[in-house]
A and B are shown apart, each in its own frame.
Chain A
Amino acid sequence: MIREPISPKAKLLLGICSICVVIGLYSWVSIRQHAINPRDTSIPNAGQFVNGFQKITHRDEDVIFLKSEDVIEGRFKAETSDSVDFEMITDSGEEVKTIAKQEIERIQYSNVPWLWQDIQATSFRLAVGVLIGVVLSFVVGVAMGCFAPVEAFLLPPVAFFSRIPAIAMLSVYMVVFGISEPMFFALVALGIFPTLTQAIFQAAQKDVSEHAVYKAYTLGASQFEVIGEVVVRQILPRVIESVRLQIGPAMVLLIASEMLLADVGFGYRIRIQQRLMNMSVVFIYLILLGGMGCLIERALYALRRQLCPWFGE
C-alpha cells in the first residue's frame, strides 16, 4: 500500500544497503577498468585513493606553485647561481625548464598541504560571501516586507537581478574587483542576494499576519519593537531555512568561479587534478564537498532548533 510505514531498523538497513550498492558498483567498474589498463587513473582503486589522500595531506618541501599563466605546478630540480632547473607541468605536458632566480620571486611557495590550503580558502570565501549576502538580504528583505515604499522601490530591480544567472555576473565583478578575494565574496554574496531577499521579503509580508502586528501596537510596541520583537522573531525559522536552501547555489557559484579564476581552493584543485587525470584526488575532493554541504545543513538545522524551539520539525 502507498505510504505504508516501515520500521526504523528496516529504514537504517535500506540506507546502509544503498551506500553499499554505490560502493559496489564503483568497485566493479574500477576493477574492470584496471583489468584492461592497470595504470588507469580515471576510475581509481583503493590503493590509488590512498596515494591521492597522501598527495593532498602531505607536502614535499620543494613543491612550489607558479603564478605564471601557463604553468600549472612545478618542482625544483637543481639550483645554480643564477637559475633554477624546474620540472613543471604545463597545459602541454611535463617538461623541464630553466628559469631565472628573479623569476622565483614571483613563485608562490607553500609547504602547507593542499587539502588545508583549499579548505581554508574555500570555506573562508564561502563564509564571508554567505555572511555578507545573508546580512544584506535580511535587512533589505525585512525592510521590504514592512514598508510598502521600500518594497515598491526595490522589488523591480531585485526581481530583475534574480533572473540573471549569477555566474554570468562574474565578468562584472572581475572588472570591479579584479581577480581577488573580494571578487569571490561579491559573487557569492550578490549571487544569493536576490533570491534570498525575495524569500525573506515574502516571509516578512505573508508569514506575519496583520493581526499580529496590530495586536503588538495595542500592547504598546513601538515601530522598531514590532519589527524586532514580532516580525523578525516570527520569520526567523523561515530565514534560516531559506539560507539553508541558498547554501547549494552559493557552493555552485564559488566552485565554478574557483575553477575559472582561483589559484587555490576546491574548484581550482579539482580542475587541475582532473586535467592531470588524478581522479583519486578529484573524487576525494568531491566527497569532501558533499560532506561539507551536509555539515552546513546539519549546523543550520541545529541552529534553527536552538533559536526557534517553537517551530517544530
Chain B
Amino acid sequence: MHKQLTALSVQSVCHWFGLNHVLNEVKFEVDAGQIVAVVGPSGCGKSTLLRAILGTHPPKSGKILADGKTVLGPSHHVGIVYQHYSLYDFMTARENVAFGLKLDRTSILFRTLNYPAWRAVRAEHLRVADELLEKVHLSEAANLYPSEMSGGMRQRVAIAQAMIMKPKILLLDEPFGALDEATREELQLMLLRLYEENLQAIENGQTAPYTILMVTHELNEALYVSDRILGLSQYHSQGVQGARIVYDRAAPVFGTLDGRDFAMFETQKDEIRRAVFDAEHNQHHAEYVTFWDDRTKK
C-alpha cells in the first residue's frame, strides 16, 4: 500500500482569549485520504481550532502545517465549507464553482488588459466547473443563483467550489447542520463516494485526492461518514487549561452501497459520550487517544 503523506499537522496548538483558555496543547496529524470527524461539547473550541487551521485566526502558540508548510494565513491549501453563507449570492452555481480558478489562476490585470485571452481561459474554467458539478450531481442547477437553490444544493455547490482548488485539506464546519434529514443523508453519501475514490487511489499507489476534516455535532453522522473520530473536549484532568484531544479512534468504514445500521454505532457512541461529552468523567486525556497505536498494530 502506498504510504500517504501527512496532509495536516497540528503541533501543540494553544489558544486563549484573555484568561479564558480554549485550546491546550492540541496536537494531531491527518494523513492524506482520511475523512476525520471532530466532535466535542459546545464551547470546547472546535471553531477556534478550525479557524486556526484555516489561518484566519492564528493560534497564540504552537504551529499548524498544511502539506508540510506552516499556515500563515488563509490560502488555497486549506479549503472551507461553512454552514451558512457558503456561496456568493451574486454568481450562478457554475460561476461560484469556477470562482476559485478565476481568483487563483488569473489576475485583475490579465482579466482587464487581455480580455480575449481571458475569455478563452474563462471558457476552460467553466468547463472544469461543469465537470465538478456533475460529480456532485448538480449539472441541471449550473445556471441557478444560490437564492434559487435548496439548502442541500447550495452545500453541494459549496463543496464543489472548495474542491476545484484541490486543497490539501478541506474543512467542513457543520456543513449539513441546517439541512433536513433526507438531504443530509444524500450529502453523507456524496462524502462516502469521495472516500471510495480515495481508497481506489490508495490501492493504485497514488496519493488520495480528498482529505477532509469535518466538524459535526451529530455522532451518527460522524461515525457513518468518517474513518476516524477526533474528540476535542475541556472535560479532562487539566481542563482549566483548555480543551485537548481526548478521543482519537478509528470509525467504521462504510461503502456507498452498505446500509446504514445505526444500532452498531451504539457501543462506540457510548464510549464517545463518556470520553468527550461527560463532564463528570474527568479522565486522563490520553486514555482514548489510540488511533495511531491501533493503526500500527494492524
Give the B interface residue count (CB, 8 A).
Answer: 33
A-contacting residues, B43-84, CB 8 Å: 54-56, 73-76, 78-80, 82, 84
Task: Note all chain A residues with C-beta closer than 8 A to B99.
Answer: 219, 229
Per-residue contact bits, chain B 196-239, to A (CB 8 Å; 1 contact, 0 not)? 00000000000000000000000000000000000000000000
Question: Of all chain A residues, which has the CB nearest B146?
Answer: A310
**Contact segment of B27-35, B119-127, B160-168:** B160-168
A224 within 8 A of B: yes
Q: How far is the CA of A155 from the CA of B55 in the complex (A)?
A: 29
Establish whether residues A225 and B90, one from each chain, have CB atoms under 8 Å apart when the complex forms.
Answer: no
Task: Note all chain B residues with C-beta closer than 8 A to A220.
Answer: 75-76, 100, 103-105, 165
Establish whether residues B103 and A221, one from each chain, have CB atoms under 8 Å apart when the complex forms.
Answer: yes
Q: How far is the CA of A222 from the CA of B89 in the complex (A)?
A: 20
Q: Tell me which of B76, B78, B85, B90 has the highest count of chain A C-beta atoms within 10 A of its own C-beta.
A: B90
B254 within 8 A of A: no
A212 within 8 A of B: yes
B217 to A: closest C-beta gap in Å:
18
Establish whether residues A225 and B74, one from each chain, have CB atoms under 8 Å apart when the complex forms.
Answer: no
Task: Note all chain B residues with C-beta closer than 8 A to A236.
Answer: 90
Establish whether residues A214 and B85, one from each chain, have CB atoms under 8 Å apart when the complex forms.
Answer: no
Q: How far is the CA of A229 from the CA of B111 in the complex (A)?
A: 12
Q: How far is the CA of A141 from the CA of B17 in the complex (A)?
A: 31
User: A209, A212, A214, A308: which contacts B74 (Cβ < 8 A)?
Assistant: A214
Question: Of all chain B residues, which has the CB nearest A228?
Answer: B108
Task: Note all chain B residues with C-beta closer than 8 A to A80.
Answer: none
B-contacting residues, A209-233, CB 8 Å: 209-212, 214-222, 224-225, 228-230, 233
Establish whether residues A233 and B90, one from each chain, have CB atoms under 8 Å apart when the complex forms.
Answer: yes
A312 within 8 A of B: yes
Give the A interface residue count (CB, 8 A).
Answer: 26
A-contacting residues, B97-119, CB 8 Å: 99-100, 102-105, 107-108
Q: How far is the CA of A236 from the CA of B88 in the complex (A)?
A: 13
B290 within 8 A of A: no
Establish whether residues B54 and A218, one from each chain, have CB atoms under 8 Å apart when the complex forms.
Answer: yes
A230/B76 contact (C-beta < 8 A), A218-B167, A220-B103 known: no
B147 within 8 A of A: yes
Task: Note all chain B residues with C-beta closer than 8 A to A215.
Answer: 80, 82, 86
Task: Note all chain A residues with C-beta closer than 8 A to B91.
Answer: 310
Establish whether residues A312 and B90, one from each chain, have CB atoms under 8 Å apart when the complex forms.
Answer: no
Task: Note all chain A residues with C-beta closer than 8 A to B104.
Answer: 219-221
Establish whether residues A216 and B85, one from each chain, have CB atoms under 8 Å apart when the complex forms.
Answer: no
A122 within 8 A of B: no
Q: How far is the CA of A216 from the CA of B108 in the complex (A)?
A: 14
User: B85, B102, B105: which contacts A209 (Cβ < 8 A)?
Assistant: B85
B145 within 8 A of A: yes
A217/B89 contact (C-beta < 8 A), A228-B108, A310-B147, A312-B147 known: no
A234 within 8 A of B: yes
Establish whether residues B165 and A308, one from each chain, have CB atoms under 8 Å apart when the complex forms.
Answer: no
Establish whether residues B76 and A218, one from each chain, have CB atoms under 8 Å apart when the complex forms.
Answer: yes
B7 to A: closest C-beta gap in Å:
15
A230/B74 contact (C-beta < 8 A), A214-B80, A218-B79 known: no
User: A212, A214, A230: which contacts B54 (Cβ < 8 A)?
Assistant: A214
Task: Note all chain A residues with C-beta closer than 8 A to B108.
Answer: 222, 224-225, 228
Q: How far is the CA of A212 from the CA of B107 in the complex (A)?
A: 19
Question: Of all chain B residues, which has the CB nearest A237?
Answer: B90
Q: How far is the CA of A312 from the CA of B104 in the complex (A)?
A: 29
Task: Note all chain A residues with C-beta closer than 8 A to B103.
Answer: 216, 219-222, 225, 229
Establish whether residues A218 and B90, one from each chain, have CB atoms under 8 Å apart when the complex forms.
Answer: no
Q: How far is the CA of A211 from the CA of B162 in the complex (A)?
A: 13
Interface of A with B (CB < 8 Å)?
A: 209-212, 214-222, 224-225, 228-230, 233-234, 236, 308-312
A-B pairs with beta carbons under 8 Å apart, 16 shown: A210-B56, A211-B85, A212-B88, A215-B82, A215-B86, A216-B103, A217-B55, A218-B78, A218-B79, A219-B76, A220-B100, A224-B108, A233-B88, A234-B90, A310-B146, A312-B147
Interface of B with A (CB < 8 Å)?
A: 54-56, 73-76, 78-80, 82, 84-86, 88-91, 99-100, 102-105, 107-108, 145-147, 161-162, 165, 167
Not counting A218-B54, A218-B74, A218-B75, a sample of 4 additional A-B residue pairs whose C-beta atoms are within 8 angstroms of each other reads A211-B86, A214-B80, A218-B79, A224-B108
Q: Ordered nearest first, which 7 A-B pairs have the shortest CB separation?
A: A220-B104, A217-B74, A219-B100, A221-B103, A310-B145, A209-B85, A220-B76
